[in-house]
Amino acid sequence: MAEAERIIGTPDTPDAAGGGKERPDAEGTPAGEPGTDPAAGAGTSGTGEPEATAGRPRGRRRIGVLFAVAAFAYALDLISKLIVVAELEHHPPIEIIGDWLKFEAIRNAGAAFGFGEAFTVIFTMIAAAVIVVIARLARKLYSLPWAIALGLLLGGALGNLTDRIFRAPGVFEGAVVDFIAPKHFAVFNLADSAIVCGGILIVLLSFRGLDPDGTVHKD
């Protein structure tokens, strides 16, 4: 989250390394090689390097990709939960791979994978905060991998937040529908899977130094 806030606070169009101002010489022309056409310097920063290397993102924004991935993840989660509630709830589990993988309908009042059932309202607030942060970050999103990762996070957060709001026992206290039950592991759903996959991808991108605006930094 700190990485996202750092990018949110970065200016859209950073100034050149020299402060973003040119000093005119005695004749009123920019300092530099005499007779140089100002148009010839277009597309370069004050350091003489291309703008892309000076930190300005290239390409187009990936907001459409973010929301497309989020909509896909959310739709899969919502449809799967509707089927589970209609066909599996109050029925014996369905064995998919023997005892190793089953489909079993369970209502979970806690966080992902059944943790923290006493903090349902807090987890609801965290999910809402994640959605707000992603929405703020979208205006500076130029990286395709980041768009996919944030889309998975957004779709998963919306999927579980829908359960928190609309399912029993009440608004913001609803129990999430889980149904994927591996052997010796917690029961989870597709929204949990999307959140975990998005989180892993964000960690990998951060290790590579790739920022959401498409630039690469080195610590």
Tens-digit pLDDT profile for residues 56-114:
555 688 999 999 999 999 999 999 999 999 999 989 999 999 889 999 999 987 655 55
| Active-site residue (options: 178, 211, 213, 219) | 178
Q: Is 192 a catalytic residue?
A: yes
| pTM higher than the cut 0.85 | no
Tens-digit pLDDT profile for residues 16-32:
444 444 444 444 444 44
* Residue with token string 């750092």: 6
What are the structure tokens assigned to 59, written together? 């390409």
What number of other Cβ atoms are within 10 A of residue 29's Cβ? 13
Range list of H helices, the chain: 2-8, 63-87, 120-137, 144-166, 190-208
| Active-site residue (options: 77, 163, 192, 213) | 192
